[in-house]
Amino acid sequence: MINSDDLAFFQMIASNPSLAETARTLNVTPPTVTQRLQTLEQKLQLKLVERHARRISLTEEGALLAQKGKLILTDLADLIDDLDRQKKDISGCLRVLSPFSFGQQYIAPLLAEFQSLYPNLTIELELSDIPNWSVGKSWDVIIYIGELRDSSLTLHHIAPNGRFLCASPSYLEKHGFPSHPDDLRDHQCIALRENAEDVTMWRFSNSRTNEQSAIRITPKLASNDSRVAKQWALQGLGIIHRSEWDLTKEIKEGRLVRLLPDYRLPSANIVALTGTNHRAQTLRTAKFLEMLKHELGAKPWYD
């Protein structure tokens, strides 16, 4: 069986007046060309070239091979070009699952920008604070914030994200500042129910002594919507435990005050989850991951 290399070699023979000229074109010795031609003729069990004193001529079979082979090589080159263009084209549908508030503020604008860069692309964005892992394969990218206990998906780090304990100035004026995590038992706390986490167990680590504390709060108010929980805190209704990306603006404006600064809460880094088959990862997914890391890795909530 001959292959594309054989066809290309014979095209070179057919386009030169002699085997010696073919050897010079290929930058090999004349015996190398002669031996390879003999091998090709043996494969086909056909005589392809008539050898004369200073030139060659193609047999009828050789002329047919040259003619059809040229068409095959042209079609093959066109096919490779088409595949390369397809590989480089960002198209199809990009399906993204994201937490609700973060998705509204950061993922939705980035997806709109991404689609404008690649007009042949369509976007599907679903927002949910309780992602359904059982249907993870239906998403190209899952944005996740929080403690990731177990996942068979591939994790891509997007941005660091700490958690803060905050309350409004009006709440603190009325109830005072906690000085230790244990003091939270005497305060009104607001719980945000998301990601199926144990949201009433607040864990702390002293940044100086490494003292570990775990406090079980009894929330006066609880919601599965982060916007509602933050609004309650802004209204002076209690202390909130929330990601820095969501509280930084209010802290900078003085509408919320960070509490227990000597204590660290478990981080909730922002990550993207994709399927485990790297070869199957589409170019649109890879390019969107690049955009996420570039745009969110700089922590734009501090701008």
Query: Could you read off the pLDDT of 1-11 as tens digits, one per residue?
Result: 788 888 888 88
Query: Could you read off the pLDDT of 84-98 as tens digits, one per residue?
Result: 665 567 888 999 999
Please answer whether residues 167 and 261 qualify as being in contact, where contact means their C-beta atoms are separated by less than 8 angstroms.
no
Assign a CATH topology to domain 4-88.
Arc Repressor Mutant, subunit A (1.10.10)
**Residues in CB range of 107: below 8 A, 6 or more apart:** 96, 98, 125, 143
- Fold match, 92-161+269-302 / 163-264: yes
Please answer whether residues 96 and 124 qualify as being in contact, where contact means their C-beta atoms are separated by less than 8 angstroms.
yes
Specify the CATH class of 163-264 in words: alpha beta
Domain limits, the chain: 4-88, 92-161+269-302, 163-264
* Whole-number pLDDT of residue 172: 96
Q: How far, in Å, CA of 88 to CA of 213, rounded?
A: 52
Query: Could you read off the pLDDT of 249-291 as tens digits, one per residue?
Result: 999 999 999 999 899 998 889 999 987 655 446 788 989 999 9
Q: Give the homologous superfamily in CATH for domain 92-161+269-302.
A: Periplasmic binding protein-like II (3.40.190.10)
Query: Could you read off the pLDDT of 6-44 as tens digits, one per residue?
Result: 888 888 889 888 888 888 888 888 888 889 989 988 988
